[in-house]
Structure 1
Amino acid sequence: MKKLKLHVVALVLFTATAFVSCSDDDNGNSTVSKTEFVTEVAGPETGEVNKDVLLNVTFAVEGECGEFEKTIETTTGNTKTIEVQVKYDSSKICTQPTTRSMVYKFKATAAGTYILKFKKSATEFITQTIVIS
């Protein structure tokens, strides 16, 4: 009888341990977002009203699993400050710093000179001036 009770208690403890150790506490959220710095901007310096001007933007990532997520933009008059936000999969080990590229679309609704400032460091920018006619 004691042996049977011992087996039942051991089975209950084993089952409880299995359920606790397999719980998913992270709710599936394994990405981390971070602002990264731009290393190069290339593209035309002129454009037309209501037409896209495409700029190729290269930015640094801390590891090969960093992927472009979105741009964060602040506009003051005809000047736009742009930061690149990158997402990292925290379930992967990313050890090889590299660069990635994305296409930035700029469209002006009025003629004029526009200044795009891409964040190069905490205090420096890569500036792209675009004249829209």
Structure 2
Amino acid sequence: MKQIKLESLAFVLFIMTVLTSCSSDNDSPQGDGYIYKSAYATTVLGPTTGKVGQELIYNISFQVENGCGEFNKMTDVEFNKEFGYQVEAKYPATTCSLPDPEIKKTNYKIKTNTAGTYYLRIAKSETEFIVTKVVITD
């Protein structure tokens, strides 16, 4: 009789261990409570000339889908064999109480150690860039 009780208890403990080890603490779509989406630049403002080693700052305005969207990071993108950057916005996975689209801003910094002509390309649509020509001198 005692052996049956011990086997039953062992079985119950085994089932509880399996069920708790299979539970997930991650209930959000991206694992951190945010959804990430591309956002497109509306304007890019900044210098068109600079010196080697100088940090240049560009102010990028971009549109998010709703008032809860915010800047996450810049990502690499390619259109027609030209490389550039695209804004990635993050949105809370929960319902947003600010449904209207908004224009947000972020700063993007560049610094080069070589003189030359560079093109800063920021995506303004799925196929186009806002291009800023930057001349760097010694």
Pick the TM interval, shorter chain: 0.7 to 0.9
| Identity level (%) | 38
Closer, same or farther: CA 92–73 of 1 in aligned 2, 3 Å = same
Deviation at 1:24, TM superposition (A): 6.2
Deviation at 1:90, TM superposition (A): 1.4
- Match in the other structure for 1:33: 36
- Match in the other structure for 2:58: 55
Structure 1 distance, partners of 2:111, 2:62, is 21
Q: Which moved more, 1:91-100 or 1:111-120?
A: 91-100
Moved segments of 4+, more than 6 Å: none
Deviation at 1:25, TM superposition (A): 5.8
**In the alignment, residue 105 of structure 2 is paired with which amino acid?**
S
Residues 1:113 and 2:114 are matched in the alignment:
no
- Match in the other structure for 1:101: 105
Structure 1 distance, partners of 2:62, 2:101, is 11
Structure 1 distance, partners of 2:66, 2:55, is 31
Residues 1:43 and 2:46 are matched in the alignment:
yes
Closer, same or farther: CA 74–123 of 1 in aligned 2, 3 Å = closer
Q: What CA RMSD, in Å, does the superposition of the two structures yield over aligned residues?
A: 2.1
Which runs of structure 2 are paired with 1:80-91 in the superposition (5 Å)? 81-91=84-94
Relative to the length of structure 1, the TM-score reads 0.74
SS at match of 2:47: coil
- Match in the other structure for 1:124: 128
Structure 1, unpaired ranges of 5+: 1-22
Deviation at 1:63, TM superposition (A): 0.5
**In the alignment, residue 85 of structure 1 is paired with which amino acid?**
E
SS at match of 2:52: coil
Structure 2 distance, partners of 1:74, 1:123, is 10
Relative to the length of structure 2, the TM-score reads 0.71
**In the alignment, residue 126 of structure 2 is paired with which amino acid?**
A
Closer, same or farther: CA 74–109 of 1 in aligned 2, 3 Å = farther
- Match in the other structure for 2:11: none
Structure 2, unpaired ranges of 5+: 1-23
Structure 1 distance, partners of 2:49, 2:68, is 34
Structure 1 distance, partners of 2:87, 2:43, is 12
